[in-house]
Amino acid sequence: MADLIRYSIDVAARPADVYAFVEDPKIGQLFVPAREVSGVEQNGGGRVKAFTTKNGRGEYTLHCFPQRFEAAYHWPGFRARYDVRCEPFGDKATRLMIEVNLQPQSFLGRVRASLTRLGLKNQVSSRLEVLKKQFNR
């Protein structure tokens, strides 16, 4: 059974700046802590195409710079699909909306789903707090 987690914050920055921060798995750390990222692949346009971590692999499936990206992160027993949108309002303000669709892929994944969901929610919410501090100075 899939589990949808939603977040929305407003930051005082241009959408392109917010997009670039959140997209990079080593800076934004939306998927996992930076210390767990072992490699980042970029496409010809400089956007992140894929990344690997100690436990899994993430791939970007859609880039609409600077408005939206979609990514999928796979690790043993789980898959998480991220839909990230940056909507401008005003001259230098952006509403960042993140939807994470957490999908257990095995029996053990379903057993540990609530613990994994809690960890994922903590990871994303802590990174959004850092993002607020970064841009809302």
Tell me the per-residue pLDDT of 85-110, one tens digit each, with 9 for 90 and over: 999 988 889 999 999 999 998 888 88
Which secondary structure element, helix H or strand E, spans residue 81, and what is its range?
strand 78-88
C-alpha to C-alpha distance for 130 and 137, rounded to whole angstroms: 11
pTM score: 0.90
Identify the CA nearest to 64 among candidates 80, 44, 43, 86. Answer: 86
**Segments forming the whole domain that contains residue 115:** 3-135
Structure confidence by residue, pLDDT tens digits, 106-122: 888 888 888 888 999 99
121 and 7 Cβ atoms separated by less than 8 Å: no
CATH of the domain at 17: 3.30.530.20
C-alpha to C-alpha distance for 63 and 70, rounded to whole angstroms: 7
130 and 32 Cβ atoms separated by less than 8 Å: no
Domains in the chain: how many in total?
A: 1
Structure confidence by residue, pLDDT tens digits, 4-52: 999 999 999 999 999 999 999 999 999 999 999 999 999 888 899 999 9
- Is pLDDT of 137 > 80? no
Identify the CA nearest to 74 among candidates 32, 107, 39, 43. Answer: 32
